[in-house]
A and B are shown apart, each in its own frame.
Chain A
Amino acid sequence: QKEVEQNSGPLSVPEGAIASLNCTYSDRGSQSFFWYRQYSGKSPELIMFIYSNGDKEDGRFTAQLNKASQYVSLLIRDSQPSDSATYLCAVDKLIFGTGTRLQVFP
């Protein structure tokens, strides 16, 4: 059974800080990794995807992938209250983690 693990949180960070969200996966053969953001009562929306080891940056977001250690992380720089949401990690599109709830307080 393929698994994706995330800490459910909540992760609380002050406005302007860096939020670090982590995800581990069990299938060493996994190829693609996705981060989705889900606001309460809404459907998930894609933030970033990453396929290769290393970092991938998009604005305030950086995805980091380490296939040897089987983890993928999402860094949010200069966190804003509008970033408060649940962040879902997905592997190979079909397997989702349970999500980490992020709270950014002013």
Chain B
Amino acid sequence: DVKVTQSSRYLVKRTGEKVFLECVQDMDHENMFWYRQDPGLGLRLIYFSYDVKMKEKGDIPEGYSVSREKKERFSLILESASTNQTSMYLCASSAGTGWFTDTQYFGPGTRLTVL
């Protein structure tokens, strides 16, 4: 079974803090993704990566950055957390062959609250 894990299920931070969200997958997948999910807005893609040290902006990259130093790990960084970044953050991974078509596997999510 594919396993995607995220470092925290719940996280509370203060405005202005630097926040790291970690995601690890154990299936040697090339592609990894970060989404946020908000009521009424669905899942929105923040960043994705199709290879180590490679990254691409998604629909809403502002205020975020990412790091992928190793294939299995994809980190989302909030440089200076703001209250409008309070959300559920979901990480996903997929295999590299035909990356537009391969199934994404999601982690359990991190519910981040910024006070």
Residues of A within 8 A of B (CB): 8, 31-32, 34, 42-46, 49, 51, 88, 90, 92-99
Contact = CB atoms under 8 A, between A and B. Distances in A.
Interface residues of B, number: 23
A44 B109 CA distance: 10
B100 A98 contact: no
A95 B58 CA distance: 10
Q: Is the interface of A mostly helix, strand, loop or mixed?
A: loop
Interface in B22-61: 33, 35, 40-45, 48, 58
Interface of B: 33, 35, 40-45, 48, 58, 90, 94, 99-109
A95 to B, nearest CB: 8
A99 B101 contact: no
Nearest to B6: A43
Contacts of B43: 44, 88, 90, 96
A32 B100 contact: yes
